[in-house]
Structure 1
């Protein structure tokens, strides 16, 4: 069974990055959850050959999966996945949604995902990533306030974009 640990420092050299995902916030302070049937996740994915800049990976994946533009992403940290063979990193970033486009199918799989906005305090439960997921969601909520300057009180109810 894989072991997951959350870190807020830079990804160590030599630890491959296999995913870049973003906690994307609406200007009203709610965070976007990508919905695929009963599965909840964040927008993001794997680097393509030749891609190494986390910002570029997140921007591309965000547009492909949920057809949104984002303002400048900020690094949050990484989740180390140790499967007993080859540990790797899953980078997490935070950004504000700057433009919403009509939903389109993901070019990788043809699915069109729903875009759910929720209170940041509910993200950890919806993602169902265990304790490290709650740690990541808390770090994202703190960054939304401190770095992005977004509201944290009086947030609207959940709703789809």
Structure 2
């Protein structure tokens, strides 16, 4: 099955998740695999740098959701969770020339902003558990409030 999307639940040291805001719509950072990406982790690393200018470490594969189209081939959208290690200065996304908004907020706030439905709740819960167990991050009660830029 073709992979058409690699998105990440990116968690900072305060237990907050990063969302990308574009034209008022919330999304997870990530994007489309390119032929020059060595693997799907490379896709995520490149895309989050391009879209929201962050560096990440220790990405963990969460799974994928299969997208079914009646007149087209099915495809997969991969999801990962990773730890944010650095926020970089803002710059335009080379794909479209825009500087996307980025927000760091609690998992619940990001879920509300995304409004992607029940499948997203399961992804968020898996990402939350990994961030807490693997990296010791305070995801149930972030140690800083929301930040938008």
Q: TM-score range by the shorter chain?
A: over 0.9
User: What whole-Å deviation, never above 9, does each CA across 1:75-115 have from its counterpart, x for those lacking one?
Assistant: 01111111123111100001111111111000000010111
User: Which residue of 6, 16, 19 maps to 1:30?
Assistant: 16
Contact 1:125–1:134 (CA under 8 A) maintained in structure 2: no
TM-score computed with the length of structure 1 as normaliser: 0.86
TM-score computed with the length of structure 2 as normaliser: 0.92
Match of 1:115 in 2: 102
Match of 1:10 in 2: none
SS in structure 1 opposite 2:135? coil
Contact 1:68–1:100 (CA under 8 A) maintained in structure 2: yes
CA RMSD of aligned residues (A): 1.3
1:146 aligns with 2:130: no
Question: Alignment length, in residue pairs?
Answer: 147
CA distance in 1, matches of 2:35, 2:118: 32
Query: 5+ residue gaps in structure 1?
Result: 1-14
Query: 5+ residue gaps in structure 2?
Result: none
CA distance in 1, matches of 2:117, 2:139: 23
